[in-house]
């Protein structure tokens, strides 16, 4: 009993001491604030500088701000910069207010906007761009406005070297250094550090379901990042950082209308109430799409013709895309909830068939017409605190998504396709006798996660300092339901196979631990990390991956040099692994006979040189990279295989210039893929499965460049333009139409064999064989220059905006994995009105 009383007494004394320390820190700050208000700047420094350690919470950033202001008032600019840096480390997303001195505002923006800008994504700790271990692009809110981008995909393509748009027909997609998939599944996309990628598909399409109005800045790691973020971070990481409520401090409303039935609405509310910070956002977008005639050069390219004479480009489904969310911060607690939805309507039918179709004739499932649709909900509750030099963060996460892939196959009967797909006879009959054929796949996933992350800062003598970071995470994923149905006659469905439905469900558990060290000695930094990922798959197989990273950095006042090696991976998406099982079962096989997929891997070397303020307001970076990708998952009609490989070298150049009235952001990328392959096809006895080497860029131009220019013409009027140039590119894909023709010729040959006419049969066989060399199609896409322009005009709290995309209405094509050439949007414009309360 005495021991218990002693313990309670010690705890009470500790709490009293802690409370006294808090009170002392607040009293120092209040006295310093009073001293600053009457111009006693030296007294501000005397009060705060030696006592900064006793000031905690949000008051600490206020103390750093006050110290910086005092030093500026004393004309000690270098000391002021040091305090601004500490302020941005304490709160990397700090924003100035109009009442701040202009010198202080400029200093914050210079440090944040130049290569000294502060980010947290690269090492899970606040650091300047010069210190991050891999090349990183920081996209600010002003840069987003200057680009006139309509969605995240366009923002990334405008500012991130090595990223280019990829069109996979019914999915908004983007490639990184020539690596991409059917959907956006190789780049990790996060919202304030919370993963948005689906656990079923690995997909997080950067489309209209991700509002840009809530975004304060976007941090992009260019290169593999599994050493910190594990799977999905195969080629890059995109972390979307939202505003704080205090930054908004009111209500912002925005409404826009444009051609082709575009309607857009945005709402942003933010406030800080003492220690409570609140941010709420909402965004809605819809479009009827641009209706154009089927291009003449496509009409006679297929044995099936084009059943419908028009196609729709840029159409949103029967429901609008939306993004709604809330973020709450209270002392060390942070809560995030985001709900978003999208429906992207494909202009053509699936894959390289790419036929036109009559969208409105097809039935809906739960209000969804033919489209790639997602409805996702993400929740994150975290708590952060400091124990001396140790910073800890605990988080609980929950994700729930409804995923739909509703694809039209053709308006007309296609008997050959059923045979190529190996469908059972009771399903094939619908392909032979009916039109209006479609495929509908739908599933609901849930994921629960727990995270612990920590950073310990240390100093050794005068010249050595660093940070040790560590973390662990556990996730439980389950697919609760799966529907896989074939539609026919536009509105009817083949009876659902209950065996396939049950086989599609499953649960998986994963865990990981990581450790990283950042050590600085004078001007040299070593940044090394290692992560171990373990996954127990639905079939009890196991995936084990080690992801190392090491970077050497040399910092100088006007420049820095970085050399890094990293290895990254992404486990084959759950839906791909299950698709192999389903296709095996449909063909009469056993589940254990299905092709087992391995994780995809990338090894990367990067060497970069960056200069800061070589001329006033001018920064630049040049980066050379080498990527070696193995075990890439490629499609084999409806199956998937680890058959892909890719070796690529390239050079990326970035430059930005900023003056009071003019800004310019320019990037140029050269990419050369010198080892690459596609998957061949097993054509029913004609050809064994092979891989086809192409050893060239696929749907990625060798040269691509962007220039975003903004000019403050008057105090109220701002003009901006985005200039895009892409060199000539080629699309290599399996020609499914030609495959169907080959299959058709082989069927005719079989009939002649049955009629005992081997000579005629041999003629048809020879014709089929003659088409094999053309099974892998190579299509040209000419070089293109696209011009986007826009303007903003401010009238007090009212802002009028106009953005015109593809000003000259240039017609051009893009393509993606196993996708025919897809014609792109013409001239689109959007007029909007924004008001701040």
| Cα 832 to Cα 837: distance, rounded to the nearest angstrom | 17
Cβ within 8 Å of residue 616, ≥6 positions away: none
Beta strands in 223-261 (DSSP E): 236-242, 250-258
Interval 753-776 mean pLDDT: 84
| Cα 167 to Cα 184: distance, rounded to the nearest angstrom | 10
Task: Please provide residue 8's backbone torsions phi and psi, each rounded to the nearest 5 degrees.
Answer: -60, -40
Residue corresponding to tokens 């992207």: 344
Cβ within 8 Å of residue 429, ≥6 positions away: none
First to last CA, the chain: 61
Model confidence pLDDT, tens digit, residues 603-649: 999 999 999 888 888 999 999 999 999 999 887 666 788 888 899 99
pLDDT given for residue 421 in this prediction: 67
pLDDT given for residue 84 in this prediction: 84
CA angle 313, 170, 414 (to 5 degrees): 100
pLDDT above 80 (res 47): yes
Residue 791 and residue 799 in contact, taking contact as beta carbons nearer than 8 Å: no
For residues 577, 581, 583, 585, the Cα torsion angle rounded to the nearest 10 degrees is: 180
- Look at strands 310-313 and 215-222 and give their pairing: unpaired
The helix (H) or strand (E) run that includes residue 89 is helix 77-90
pLDDT above 60 (res 115): no
For residues 605, 510, 405, 442, the Cα torsion angle rounded to the nearest 10 degrees is: 180
Residue 734 and residue 725 in contact, taking contact as beta carbons nearer than 8 Å: no
Interval 677-689 mean pLDDT: 57
pLDDT given for residue 371 in this prediction: 93
Q: Could you give the 3-state DSSP secondary structure of residue 21?
A: helix
pLDDT above 90 (res 107): no
Residues in the chain: 837
Which residues, listed in sequence order, are joined to residue 731 by a DSSP beta bridge?
779
Q: How many of the other CB atoms lie within 10 Å of CB of 455?
A: 21
pLDDT given for residue 767 in this prediction: 86
| Cα 304 to Cα 354: distance, rounded to the nearest angstrom | 10
Residue 514 and residue 470 in contact, taking contact as beta carbons nearer than 8 Å: yes
| Cα 286 to Cα 305: distance, rounded to the nearest angstrom | 31
pLDDT above 70 (res 390): yes
Interval 531-558 mean pLDDT: 93
| Cα 148 to Cα 804: distance, rounded to the nearest angstrom | 8
Q: How many of the other CB atoms lie within 10 Å of CB of 16?
A: 10
Model confidence pLDDT, tens digit, residues 479-504: 998 888 889 999 999 887 777 788 88
Token duo for residue 701:
């131009």
Model confidence pLDDT, tens digit, residues 167-209: 877 788 999 999 998 888 999 999 999 999 999 999 998 999 9
Residue corresponding to tokens 């149905």: 485
| Cα 589 to Cα 418: distance, rounded to the nearest angstrom | 17
Per-chain mean pLDDT for the chain: 87
| Cα 224 to Cα 220: distance, rounded to the nearest angstrom | 11
Nearest Cα neighbor of 301 from 711, 774, 642, 625 is 774
pLDDT > 90: percent of the chain: 55
- Look at strands 187-191 and 236-242 and give their pairing: parallel
pLDDT above 80 (res 681): no
More confident residue, 749 or 337: 337
User: With 0-12 CB in 10 A as exposed, 13-18 as middle and 19+ as buried, what is 460?
Assistant: exposed
pLDDT given for residue 388 in this prediction: 84
> Rounded to two decimals, what is the model's pTM?
0.87
Interval 375-390 mean pLDDT: 93
Instruction: Measure Cα distances from 685 to 619, 688, 772, 776 in Å.
Output: 60, 7, 12, 18
Residue corresponding to tokens 């990037």: 667
DSSP of 417-478: HHHHHT--HHHHHHHHH-SSEEEEEEEEEEEEEEEEEEEEEEEETTTEEEEEEEEEEEEEEE
Which residues, listed in sequence order, are joined to residue 469 by a DSSP beta bridge?
455, 516
Instruction: Measure Cα distances from 258 to 263, 713, 802, 830 in Å.
Output: 7, 25, 9, 4
pLDDT given for residue 437 in this prediction: 92
Residue 627 and residue 177 in contact, taking contact as beta carbons nearer than 8 Å: yes
pLDDT above 50 (res 17): no
Model confidence pLDDT, tens digit, residues 280-302: 999 999 999 999 998 887 776 66
């Amino acid at each position: 009993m005495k021991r218990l009383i002693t313990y309670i007494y010690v705890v009470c004394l500790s709490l009293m001491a802690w409370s006294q320390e808090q009170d002392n820190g607040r009293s120092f700050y209040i006295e310093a604030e009073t001293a600053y208000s009457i111009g006693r700047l030296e007294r501000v420094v005397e009060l705060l500088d030696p006592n900064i350690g006793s000031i905690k919470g949000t008051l600490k950033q206020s103390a750093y701000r006050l110290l910086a202001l005092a030093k500026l008032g004393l004309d000690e600019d270098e000391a002021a910069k040091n305090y601004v840096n500490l302020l941005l480390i304490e709160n990397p997303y700090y924003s100035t207010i109009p009442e701040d001195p202009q010198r202080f505002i400029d200093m914050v923006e210079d440090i944040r906007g130049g290569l000294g800008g502060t980010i947290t994504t690269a090492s899970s700790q606040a650091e300047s761009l010069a210190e991050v271990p891999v090349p990183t692009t920081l996209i600010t809110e002003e840069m987003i406005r200057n680009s006139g981008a309509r969605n995240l995909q366009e923002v990334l393509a405008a500012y991130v070297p090595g990223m280019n748009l990829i069109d996979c027909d019914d999915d908004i997609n983007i490639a990184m250094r020539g690596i991409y998939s059917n959907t956006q599944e190789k780049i990790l996309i996060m919202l304030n550090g919370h993963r948005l990628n689906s656990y079923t598909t690995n997909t997080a399409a950067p489309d209209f379901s991700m509002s840009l109005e809530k975004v304060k800045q976007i941090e992009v790691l260019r290169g593999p990042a599994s050493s910190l973020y594990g799977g999905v971070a195969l080629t890059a990481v995109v972390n979307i950082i939202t505003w704080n409520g205090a930054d908004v401090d009111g209500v912002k409303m925005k409404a826009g209308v444009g051609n082709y039935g575009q309607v857009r609405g945005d709402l942003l509310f933010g406030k800080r109430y003492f220690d409570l910070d609140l941010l709420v956002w909402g965004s809605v977008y819809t479009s009827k799409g641009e209706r154009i005639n089927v291009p003449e050069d496509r009409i006679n390219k297929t044995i099936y013709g084009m059943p419908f004479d028009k196609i729709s480009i840029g159409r949103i489904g029967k429901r609008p895309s939306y993004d709604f969310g809330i973020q709450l911060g209270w002392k060390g607690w942070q809560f995030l909830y985001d709900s978003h939805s999208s429906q992207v309507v494909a202009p053509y039918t699936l894959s390289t068939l790419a036929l036109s179709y009559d969208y409105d004739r097809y039935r809906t499932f739960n209000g969804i017409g033919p489209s790639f649709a997602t409805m996702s909900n993400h929740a994150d509750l975290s708590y952060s605190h400091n124990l001396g030099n140790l910073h800890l963060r605990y988080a609980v996460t929950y994700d729930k998504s409804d995923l739909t892939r509703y694809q039209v196959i053709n308006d007309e009967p296609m008997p050959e396709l059923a045979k190529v797909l190996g469908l059972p006879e009771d399903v094939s009959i619908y392909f032979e006798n009916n039109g209006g054929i479609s495929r509908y796949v739908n599933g609901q996933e849930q994921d629960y996660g727990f995270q612990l992350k920590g950073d310990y800062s240390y100093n050794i003598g005068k010249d050595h300092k660093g940070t040790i970071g560590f973390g662990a995470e556990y996730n439980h994923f389950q697919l609760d339901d799966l529907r896989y149905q074939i539609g026919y006659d536009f509105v009817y469905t083949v009876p659902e196979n209950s065996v396939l439905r049950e086989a599609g469900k499953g649960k998986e558990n994963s865990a990981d631990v990581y450790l990283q060290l950042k050590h600085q000695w004078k001007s040299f930094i070593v940044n090394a990390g290692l992560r171990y990922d373990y996954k127990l798959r639905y079939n009890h197989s196991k995936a084990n991956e080690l992801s190392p990273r090491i970077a050497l950095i040399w910092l100088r006042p006007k420049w820095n040099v970085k050399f890094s090696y990293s290895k990254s991976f992404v486990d084959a998406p759950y839906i791909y692994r299950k698709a192999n099982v389903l296709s095996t079962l449909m063909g009469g096989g056993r589940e254990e006979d299905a092709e087992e997929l391995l994780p995809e891997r990338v090894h990367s070397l990067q060497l970069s040189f960056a200069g800061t303020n070589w001329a006033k307001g001018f920064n630049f970076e040049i980066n050379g990279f080498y990527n070696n990708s193995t075990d890439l998952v490629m499609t084999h009609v409806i199956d998937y295989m680890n058959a892909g490989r890719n070796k690529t070298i390239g050079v990326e150049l970035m430059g930005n210039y900023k003056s009071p009235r003019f800004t310019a952001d320019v990037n140029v990328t050269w990419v050369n893929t010198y080892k690459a392959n596609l998957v061949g096809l097993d054509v029913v006895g004609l050809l064994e499965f092979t891989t086809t080497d192409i050893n060239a860029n696929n749907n990625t131009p060798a040269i691509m460049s962007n220039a975003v220019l903004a000019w403050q013409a008057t105090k109220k009027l701002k003009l901006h333009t985005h200039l895009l140039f892409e060199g000539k590119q080629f699309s290599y894909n399996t020609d499914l139409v030609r495959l169907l023709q080959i299959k058709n010729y082989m069927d005719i040959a079989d009939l002649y064999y049955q009629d005992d006419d081997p000579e005629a049969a041999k003629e048809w066989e020879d014709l089929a064989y003659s088409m094999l060399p053309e099974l892998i199609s190579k299509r040209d896409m000419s070089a293109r220059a696209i011009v986007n322009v826009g303007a903003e005009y401010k009238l007090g709290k009212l802002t009028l905006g106009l953005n015109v995309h593809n000003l000259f209405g240039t017609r051009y094509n893009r393509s993606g994995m196993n996708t025919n050439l897809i014609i792109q949007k013409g001239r689109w414009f959007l007029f909007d009105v924004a008001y701040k309360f």
